[in-house]
Amino acid sequence: MTSHDDLIARGRAYLGHGQIDDALACFEAAVTQCREAADAYYLLGETLFLQRRLDAALRCHAAALRQGMDCDIAARGRAMSGLIPGDFGWMSHMLRGDFESAWRLADQDRALRGSGGSATPLPRHMRPVWDGTPFDGRHVLVRCYHGLGDTLHFIRYVPLLAKRAASVCVEAQPPLLDLLRDMPGIARLYALQDSSDPECSEFGCDAETDVTELPHAFRTTIETIPNSVSYLRPNAAAMVAARHRLAPLNRHRKIGLCWAAGGWKPERSLTPRELAPLADVSGVAFVSLQRGPAYESWRVAPEGPPFAAELMSDSVEATAAVIASLDLVIPVDTMVASSASPRAVIGRASCNGSPPRSQLWAKG
């Protein structure tokens, strides 16, 4: 009989090669062989989550917690396959729209970790920052330790935070400073440093949180997600420049395309060739919003729909101004989806690292 450990190792290998059904069979056999194996339940749950069998995944998550992972967050970390950027139980609740159950899991994990301040040796994007205490009447530092798209997506909570806090200071990635500078609610804005993490008190603050923790802090429900559009506004000069550039296309519907995301999640990306059928749509002008290696590859061997214009700047604010001047944006990346609002956005987006879901954002 194949041992429990061998079944786990084989299942992990299958997962790494995208062989989900084979991995599922291995983890099911491991659970059958050892009913007390928390890691087998956890990995079986991850595999079911990847198949979007959320109810079954949550049953496995509960079983893993009963077998000891409810009080050993390190064991949960060791069990993770690495294919899911976080705890699949939390994400399963989120995808079902059961935010309160997700927040209860997050509360339990925060209690296990203790205060989890910025002195932890974990990489920035894995650090818990908020200690669970209320922000009312306090001087709050919002740290932006995740990706640019995450910051642009969750920064919408700052005006809400400013209504509770005495003041709000934001430490953000340097490329975003121009776009965030005039956002309501930000009293002081600082550039996030690569080489150091100053203490909260050095900013004159007595409370801190990561920007991605704000939905948890506000116990967000689907009904209370901040939805004012647009909450990010490029400056007037950038808007004038973008509209001038796009003026020759004003007889057409202007549609922006961003077809490739970061390398950490390559399955979110498309090739220009997969966008080729869009060339048959009449009455539209396509604008390339793609930058980076995918853009350079297209420049070398252009294919897909013809572009009437291309994004010429790496500036986030310039990009936001172009987006705000379009009628529609179709992106695979949350940074483009959140940078500014055209009349509508259709695309794949992630919520704090969760797998892509088709979503629509539209102006009121």
- The answer to whether residue 60 is domain-embedded is yes
pLDDT in tens, 332-360: 876 776 666 655 566 543 333 333 333 33
- The answer to whether residue 106 is domain-embedded is no
Same domain, 241 and 355: yes
Give pLDDT, residue 343: 55
- Contacting residues for 117 by C-beta, under 8 A, at least 6 apart: 129, 131, 208
- The answer to whether residue 111 is domain-embedded is no
Same domain, 250 and 343: yes
CATH of the domain at 340: 3.40.50.2000
Q: Which helix (H) or strand (E) holds 104?
A: helix 99-113
Same domain, 216 and 313: no
Same domain, 170 and 72: no
pLDDT in tens, 191-234: 999 888 899 999 999 999 999 999 999 999 999 999 887 788 88
Give pLDDT, residue 303: 74
- The answer to whether residue 104 is domain-embedded is no
C-alpha angle 250-256-261 in degrees, rounded to nearest 5 = 170
CATH of the domain at 48: 1.25.40.10
Share of the chain above pLDDT 70, in %: 88
- The answer to whether residue 10 is domain-embedded is yes
Structure tokens at 341: 């609002």
Alpha-carbon 269 to chain mean position: 15
3-state SS track over 60-95: HHHHHHHHHHCCCHHHHHHHCCCCCCCCHHHHHHHH
Same domain, 128 and 179: yes
Domain count, the chain: 3
Same domain, 288 and 210: no
Q: Which of 189-203, 242-256, 291-305 has the lowest mean pLDDT?
A: 291-305
Residue in 357, 320, 359 with CA at minimum distance from that of residue 341: 320
**What is the extent of the structural domain holding 8?**
4-97
Average pLDDT of the chain, as a whole number:
85
**What is the phi/psi pair of residue 127, to 5°?**
-85, 130
Same domain, 163 and 206: yes
Give pLDDT, residue 334: 67
> 278 or 190: whose pLDDT is higher?
190
Residue in 39, 45, 213, 242 with CA at minimum distance from that of residue 129: 213
pLDDT in tens, 138-149: 999 999 999 888
Give pLDDT, residue 350: 38
pLDDT in tens, 298-327: 777 767 778 888 887 788 898 899 999 999
**What is the phi/psi pair of residue 206, to 5°?**
-120, 10
* pTM attached to this predicted model: 0.81
Does residue 90 have a pLDDT over 60? yes
Mean pLDDT of 265-290: 84
